[in-house]
Amino acid sequence: MLTVRIQKQFRSSVSDFFLNTDFTLRKEDGTAVFFGASGSGKTLTFQGISGLYKPDRAFIKFRNTLFCDTEKNIFLPAQQRKISYVFQDYALFPHLTVLQNVAYAKSGLWVKFLSKSIKEECLELLKQFRIENLKNHYPSQLSGGQKQRAALARAILAKSELLFLDEPFSALDPLLRETMRRELLANLQKTAIPAVLITHDPEDVLFFADTLIIFKDGTTQKIEHVKKQGLTEQTIKPFLLDLLK
């Protein structure tokens, strides 16, 4: 179970933004999707749960681990939260090969030197993701789809307990998205790590969401059993598109 209550005032020279999220995701909620317009607070919520900034007021708990409780002055650093975060542009390390990127969580200070066992484990994973032939390529030499597979493989090898995917298809060609959605779903089912996705594409919601967290101006609203309700493209799409306006 993931309980999230975050309050944070973000100030900038252009405008201020107040994030005020409050929701709980249970195991039976399945794959959750954060949906909302750009600037509604989805990524900030991901970052808050991952421990990438300190909220003003917050209570974040995942299973039995308290990530953050501002009242008790508890703040667990990102390193200890066991959340893998696949960034929108995948954030692969440009100076490391695909193999070194995937092995990062298990490698030591000398990331270019990998022990035989880690190498074998990585190669097995690369094989599973069909990028074994790209193991010595650098991120700049990969296509969008290949980058996504490498980033996902890297996140999975970190043996995290929760997987965050921030707009996983936004950097992809529209024609490739459909294929990549199926591939990602298959991979998520294979890894069995609970995943949360961010999107502002109604197609992604229809494809992945068991539970929907709607973001609007920094606040959240939860919609459960999206798939079980038998919502179709015709019924949910106008509602979602209306939220983006």
Partner 1 sequence: MNQDIFFPLVLSLKVSFLAVCCAGVPAVWFAHIMARKKGMFSAFMDSLCTLPLVLPPTVLGYFLILLLGKKGILGSWLNAYGIQIMFTWQGAVIACTVVIFPLIYKYSRVAFSQVDQKLQDSAATLGASEFKIFFTVSLPLALKGIFAGIMLAFARGLGEFGATLMIAGNIPYKTQTLALAIYASFQNGDDENALFLVLITSLLCIAVLCIAEYCLEKKMVFKNL
Determine the 3-state secondary structure of 142 from DSSP.
Answer: coil
User: Binding marks (x or -) toward partner 1, 80..109, rule CB under 8 A?
Assistant: xxxxxx-x-x-x-xxx--------xx-xxx
In contact, 36 and 243? CB cutoff 8 Å: yes
Q: Residue 38 interacts with partner 1 (CB under 8 A)?
A: no
Q: Which stretch binds partner 1 (CB under 8 A): 13-21, 60-68, 77-85, 142-150?
A: 77-85
Does residue 75 interact with partner 1 by CB under 8 A?
no
Q: For residue 154, state whether it binds partner 1 (rule: CB under 8 A).
A: yes
Which of 158/180 has CB closer to partner 1? Answer: 158
Q: Is 14 in the site for partner 1 (CB under 8 A)?
A: no
> If binding is defined by CB under 8 A, does position 77 make contact with partner 1?
yes
Residue 66 makes CB contacts below 8 A (sequence gap 6+) with 60, 72, 74, 76
Distance CA 198, CA 200 (A): 7
Q: How far is the CB of 109 from partner 1 (least distance, A)?
A: 5
Interacting stretch for partner 1, rule CB under 8 A, among 3-11, 46-54, 142-150, 226-234?
Answer: 46-54
Inter-residue contact 84 to 160 (CB < 8 Å): yes
By CB under 8 A, is residue 54 in contact with partner 1?
A: no
- Residue 228, Cα to own-chain centre: how many angstroms? 23
Q: Which residues contact 185 (CB under 8 A, 6 or more apart)?
A: 207, 208
